[in-house]
Structure 1
Amino acid sequence: MKAKRMIIMLVGSAVVFGGVFGFVGFRNTMIKQYFANMPKPVVSVTAATASLDDWRSTVFAVGTLQAVNGVDIAGSLSGLVKEIGFQSGQEVKRGQILVRLDSDVELGDLRSAEAELALAHTSNDRNVALLRSNTVSVAALEKTQAELKVKQAKVAGLHAQIAKKSVAAPFDGVLGVRKIDLGQYVQPGQVMVNLQDLSLMLCDFTVSQKDLSAVSVGQNVRMTSDAWPAQSFDGAIAAIEPQVDSKTGMVTVQAKFPNAGQRLRPGMFAKIEIDRPATERVVTIPVSAVSYNLHGDAVFVVRDGDKGKIAERAVVQLGDRRDGTVVVKQGVKPGDIVVTSGQVKLENGSPIQIAEDDPLKAPAKTALK
């Protein structure tokens, strides 16, 4: 009896669990069939047509600005600061005295040397007159002439030393922040103030040797800076380094930019654009149509499906970008319609509907009556 009862219980359990598992399997199968047969939602997108345009390729580079003349003003002699003839940030002219150091000792030595020079002149003139009457020898005259030259050299040296006690601006420019005070003792080479000529700015940058054919001296270039993002500055290439860096394959180029408004300052980072001389016919699309990822850039191209328009994913190879458009070297043909917004909701083969108006665009303003 016990064995029979056990068999009945096992058979009952098998029937119950079999029913449960069968129901779960049936439910999963029906869910899969429902989702497989469920129609994909139509996604509303905007689109644009790939066009064939004349494109002038651009060489891009990054450089650093420097003034055409810029120097840290420093004296070549030591001494006490007796006079400061400038203010921080002041515009100065070439030759304007900026700093005078104490030169009282040198002036005293100069007066003594000038007295000795006058005596040497008198002695030399006397010997010249006596030589005519054969009263003195030629050797005595030569000695006084040598002494005269020594005294003249000493006086000239003291004049030069006193002149170096006055530090002047070597060129026109704008001064920086003063770094010395009255009465301060300065050493030779100690920086007193920085001077920059902001009338013309130079920009040093590098280009690849493969782009060397696209640059030449006198060629026009454009420059933008983060300090003035909405403004571009026009300049010209001033010099090209004759040697290519064998380690990097880069060539140093220098461009010059007029700076009438003094908006550009030394040390600024600059973005350089150099247009290639020749144009070419290329396929262009809006930048917004491109989806960027690690597996490759792609766009969704509008195709005709069985029940309407569908989006087909196409991997593209891109080129230069400019003014919201990008060059497509491979993957899109002229006349293809590409999706410009709504790509996030799309997958390959998704049905789409092209909206007439771009939702990303701001509504047009109506004129006031």
Structure 2
Amino acid sequence: MKAKRMIIMLVASAVIFGGVFGFVSFKNAMIKQYFATMPKPVVAVTVAPARQETWRGAIPAVGSLQAVNGVDIAASVSGLVKDIAFQSGQEVKRGHVLVRLDTDVEMGDLRSAEAELALARTSNDRNTALLRSNTVSVAALEKTQAELKVRQAKVGGLQAQIAKKSVTAPFDGTLGVRKIDLGQYVQPGQVMVNLQDLSLMLCDFTVSQKDLAAVVPGQPVRMSTDAYPGRSFDGTVAALEPLVDARTGMVTVQAKFPNDERILRPGMFAKIEIDKAGAEQVVTVPVSAVSYNLHGDAVFVVRDGADGAKTVERAVVQLGERKDGMVVVLQGVKPGELVVTSGQVKLENGSLVQVAAEDPLKPPAKTVMQ
């Protein structure tokens, strides 16, 4: 009896487990068949043709701007600020008086020295006249002449000291923010205001020694700054440092840029491009078409598939210089081939694509209600 029950249980278990395994196998087969027969999704992309064009290479660099003349105005002597003859941000000419320091003590000393000078001059004139009649000796005349020179030197020194109490602009330019107040006692070298000549800007940057032969004084230079996106400024190479840095192999170059609008300011960071001499025929694609990764740079090239469908093929490329949103393709793409410029994230080799008239990632334009 027990054996019969055991046999029935074993048969029932086999049937149950067989049914479960059979259902799982059937389910996996149906899923596999569904994915195998499921149509591939069509990805909307934008494309651009690879172009063959005349390319003039450029040397890129990054530098900082400085004014052709720029200085912190400071007094060379100490004193009390008696008069401030400028406003912050004012345009001034060379020789314009900016600050006057108190000169009461020096003026008193000058009047005393001038009186002593007048007396010394009178004594010298008297002895000169008396020497003609042999009334005084030559030694007495030489003594009064020496005394006259001493008094003249003293007066000249006091006048120079008083002149230093008036601080003037050393060149034409634009003043910065005032850093002193009336009645303030200033020390020699204390900064009163900054003065910058913004008529011409200089930019210092470095280039590799391998590009040294392509950079000469007078060569055209293009510059752009983050302060004015989309705008470039034209200048020329002014000078090259004669010494190559042995540690880095870089050479310092200085370029000059006219600044008639006074919009460029010292301290700005600048992106520099120097065109190389000569040009060559190259294949270029938009920078947005390139996918960068550790396994190599690549682009998706559009191919004509079966039934008029379009697919993409991943092509590994070797890139060269880039400029103005374009990059040179040295190997991997032929002129005229269409490359995907947006929508690459959803693509893989063999994906179906639909060429969109506009960027599919671009947000829709807002509707203005009238």
Structures share fold, TM-score greater than 0.5: yes
Report the Cα distance in structure 2 between the residues aligned to 1:339 and 1:320, rounded to whole angstroms.
Answer: 20
Residues 84, 99 of structure 2: 8 Å contact kept: yes
1:150-193 CA distances to partner (integer Å, 9 max, x unpaired)? 21111111010010011111111111111111111111111111
Match of 1:315 in 2: 316
Larger mean CA deviation between 177-186 and 134-143 belongs to: 134-143
1:47 aligns with 2:47: yes
Match of 1:143 in 2: 143
What does residue range 277-288 of structure 1 map to in structure 2 within 5 Å? 277-288=277-288
* Structure 1 unaligned blocks of 5 or more: 364-369
Match of 1:86 in 2: 86
Larger mean CA deviation between 231-240 and 317-326 belongs to: 317-326
1:104-126 CA distances to partner (integer Å, 9 max, x unpaired)? 11111111111111222222233
Match of 1:332 in 2: 333
Report the CA distance between 1:335 and its aligned residue: 2.7
* 1:229–1:48 CA distance, 2 compared to 1 (3 A): closer
* 1:192–1:301 CA distance, 2 compared to 1 (3 A): same
Larger mean CA deviation between 102-111 and 122-131 belongs to: 122-131
Report the CA distance between 1:144 and its aligned residue: 2.4
CA RMSD of aligned residues (A): 2.2
Report the Cα distance in structure 2 between the residues aligned to 1:73 and 1:358, rounded to whole angstroms.
Answer: 57
* 1:362–1:321 CA distance, 2 compared to 1 (3 A): farther
What does residue range 208-227 of structure 1 map to in structure 2 within 5 Å? 208-227=208-227
* 1:195–1:228 CA distance, 2 compared to 1 (3 A): same
Larger mean CA deviation between 90-99 and 322-331 belongs to: 322-331
Match of 1:119 in 2: 119
Question: Residue 230 of structure 1: SS of its match in structure 2?
Answer: coil
* 1:245–1:116 CA distance, 2 compared to 1 (3 A): same
What's the % identity of the aligned pairs?
79
1:61-104 CA distances to partner (integer Å, 9 max, x unpaired)? 22111111111111111111111111111111111111111111
Larger mean CA deviation between 302-311 and 185-194 belongs to: 302-311
1:127-168 CA distances to partner (integer Å, 9 max, x unpaired)? 333444444443333332222222111111101001001111
Match of 2:36 in 1: 36
Report the CA distance between 1:306 and its aligned residue: 4.8
Report the Cα distance in structure 2 between the residues aligned to 1:252 and 1:271, rounded to whole angstroms.
Answer: 15
Report the Cα distance in structure 2 between the residues aligned to 1:2 and 1:244, rounded to whole angstroms.
Answer: 101
* 1:354–1:80 CA distance, 2 compared to 1 (3 A): closer
Report the CA distance between 1:304 and its aligned residue: 4.0
Match of 1:204 in 2: 204
Report the Cα distance in structure 1 between the residues aligned to 2:181 and 2:33, rounded to whole angstroms.
Answer: 89
Report the CA distance between 1:362 and its aligned residue: 11
State the TM-score, normalizing by the size of structure 1: 0.90
1:201-255 CA distances to partner (integer Å, 9 max, x unpaired)? 1111122222222221111111122222232211111111111212222211111
Report the Cα distance in structure 2 between the residues aligned to 1:326 and 1:111, rounded to whole angstroms.
Answer: 77
Match of 1:231 in 2: 231
What does residue range 52-67 of structure 1 map to in structure 2 within 5 Å? 52-67=52-67
Report the CA distance between 1:37 and its aligned residue: 3.6
Question: Residue 328 of structure 1: SS of its match in structure 2?
Answer: strand
Residues 202, 257 of structure 2: 8 Å contact kept: yes
State the TM-score, normalizing by the size of structure 2: 0.90
Report the Cα distance in structure 2 between the residues aligned to 1:359 and 1:74, rounded to whole angstroms.
Answer: 58
AA in 2 matched with 1:51:
R
Match of 2:368 in 1: none
What does residue range 243-262 of structure 1 map to in structure 2 within 5 Å? 243-262=243-262
Question: Residue 314 of structure 2: SS of its match in structure 1?
Answer: strand
* 1:359–1:257 CA distance, 2 compared to 1 (3 A): closer
Match of 1:344 in 2: 345
Report the Cα distance in structure 1 between the residues aligned to 2:102 and 2:310, rounded to whole angstroms.
Answer: 89
Question: Residue 154 of structure 1: SS of its match in structure 2?
Answer: helix
Match of 1:12 in 2: 12
Report the Cα distance in structure 2 between the residues aligned to 1:329 and 1:337, rounded to whole angstroms.
Answer: 16
Report the CA distance between 1:296 and its aligned residue: 2.9
1:328-369 CA distances to partner (integer Å, 9 max, x unpaired)? 1221122322223333332101233445x3456999xxxxxx
Larger mean CA deviation between 299-308 and 66-75 belongs to: 299-308
AA in 1 matched with 2:312:
A
Question: Residue 291 of structure 1: SS of its match in structure 2?
Answer: coil
Larger mean CA deviation between 11-20 and 248-257 belongs to: 11-20
Report the Cα distance in structure 1 between the residues aligned to 2:144 and 2:336, rounded to whole angstroms.
Answer: 100
* Structure 2 unaligned blocks of 5 or more: 365-370
Match of 1:173 in 2: 173
Match of 1:367 in 2: none
Question: Residue 189 of structure 2: SS of its match in structure 1?
Answer: coil
Aligned length: 362
AA in 2 matched with 1:280:
E
